[in-house]
A = this chain, B = another copy of it.
């Protein structure tokens, strides 16, 4: 299916606008570039001619003189992931209102890719950066420190970095997890599986080993684990290492991890799954084990979405304010660029537990 070629007409030049307006080229350039002084009558003539010819101000030229590109760099794990897509939409909406554009790059949670992305964006002279960093600790985040030191403001979104102190917009992951697990406990559950915990070579046997492993996990994952442990502790429930998965973070390993728990002599009566893929893996494991929820096991998942409401029975889910995360990060960054803020701040947004029908008491479960 091929057809005729198109013939691009060239864009009008400043000289053509000047000629049409009956003024000199320098005058037209001053008028359209927004620098120097031009009389009102001349300005009107030049602007009318520019409009008539379809001349467009060259933003590159403007950027060269102001040093601003009105562009923000955004670095996330995966723009194709619905969570980050929502965050980016929030950033994009806010930026549009403030006259900024965004350039988005994905890192697939790879610090080396993140490093190149930040370098590329700084080389593009973005006015600032929003980063959902894959860096676990300050040592692996020198690219971010370097950007800030060289005058490119950075706002971290979704994750803080241990040992680094930047403007940050987060959800309260620890509290989200604590409230979800407390909700299960309030229904009578005491054996509650956690999907997923930090990836380890061999399963941790104590809380301290687990917490040490969590120090090497993403900020958000570590926080959710702490929230789970806090809820158990507050209710005097002893930690059982068998009830935490420590497999790689993907749907299949989540399923295997939950299958292992469901085969325990004293299996969990409830599960808390901390991400969409963990939730899907858990659902698959429950079904493959010939069990039903909430009859045999209760379940709370993370990252609410329309499908969780139509699954039968519909799932009780933690809902994250993705758009707001993005909007706030963009707001913090543009305020920082405008020089309106001197001190670092950490914005912590709340989540909501959407109660549906996947939680009940542990009546029939395997205890």
Contact between chains at B149 and A8 (CB < 8 Å): yes
Contact between chains at A92 and B64 (CB < 8 Å): no
In A68-98, the 8 Å CB interface with B consists of: 69, 71, 78-82, 84-86, 88-90, 92-93, 96
Measured CB to CB, the closest approach of chain B to A145, in angstroms, equals 9
Q: A residues touching B (Cβ–Cβ < 8 Å)? A: 1-11, 54, 56-61, 63-64, 69, 71, 78-82, 84-86, 88-90, 92-93, 96, 101-106, 120, 122-125, 146, 148-153, 165-166, 251, 276-277, 280, 283-284, 287, 305-312, 322-323, 342-346, 348
Given A89-B80, A96-B105, A105-B96: A56 in contact with B122 (beta carbons within 8 A): yes
Q: Which one of A120, A123, A307, A344 has the greatest number of beta carbons of chain B within 10 Å?
A: A307
11 further A-B contacts with Cβ under 8 Å, apart from A5-B344, A10-B150, A103-B103, are A6-B166, A6-B344, A7-B149, A10-B151, A54-B146, A58-B125, A84-B85, A85-B85, A89-B106, A101-B105, A101-B120
Measured CB to CB, the closest approach of chain B to A134, in angstroms, equals 16
Contact between chains at B123 and A2 (CB < 8 Å): no
> Nearest 9 pairs between A and B by C-beta?
A80-B89, A85-B85, A307-B307, A8-B151, A1-B346, A2-B343, A283-B310, A3-B344, A101-B103
Chain B residue with Cβ nearest A84: B85
Contact between chains at A150 and B323 (CB < 8 Å): no
Secondary structure at the A interface, as helix, strand, loop or mixed, is mixed
User: How far apart are the CA atoms of A315 and B34 in the complex, in Å?
Assistant: 58
* Cβ–Cβ < 8 Å partners of A5 in chain B: 342-344
Measured CB to CB, the closest approach of chain B to A367, in angstroms, equals 25
* Cβ–Cβ < 8 Å partners of A276 in chain B: 306
Chain B residue with Cβ nearest A70: B124
Contact between chains at B306 and A4 (CB < 8 Å): no
* Cβ–Cβ < 8 Å partners of A69 in chain B: 60
User: How far apart are the CA atoms of A85 and B83 in the complex, in Å?
Assistant: 10
Contact between chains at A2 and B150 (CB < 8 Å): no
* Cβ–Cβ < 8 Å partners of A6 in chain B: 148-149, 166, 344
* Cβ–Cβ < 8 Å partners of A85 in chain B: 79-82, 84-85
Contact between chains at B92 and A79 (CB < 8 Å): yes
Contact between chains at A312 and B310 (CB < 8 Å): no
* Cβ–Cβ < 8 Å partners of A311 in chain B: 307, 310-312
* Cβ–Cβ < 8 Å partners of A148 in chain B: 6, 8
List 18 interface pairs A-B (beta carbons < 8 Å), by A numbering. Answer: A3-B344, A6-B149, A8-B151, A9-B150, A10-B150, A11-B151, A54-B146, A59-B123, A60-B69, A79-B85, A79-B89, A80-B322, A80-B323, A81-B85, A276-B306, A280-B306, A311-B311, A312-B312
Contact between chains at B64 and A345 (CB < 8 Å): no
Contact between chains at A344 and B4 (CB < 8 Å): yes
User: How far apart are the CA atoms of A287 and B357 in the complex, in Å?
Assistant: 14
Contact between chains at B60 and A125 (CB < 8 Å): yes
Chain B residue with Cβ nearest A10: B151
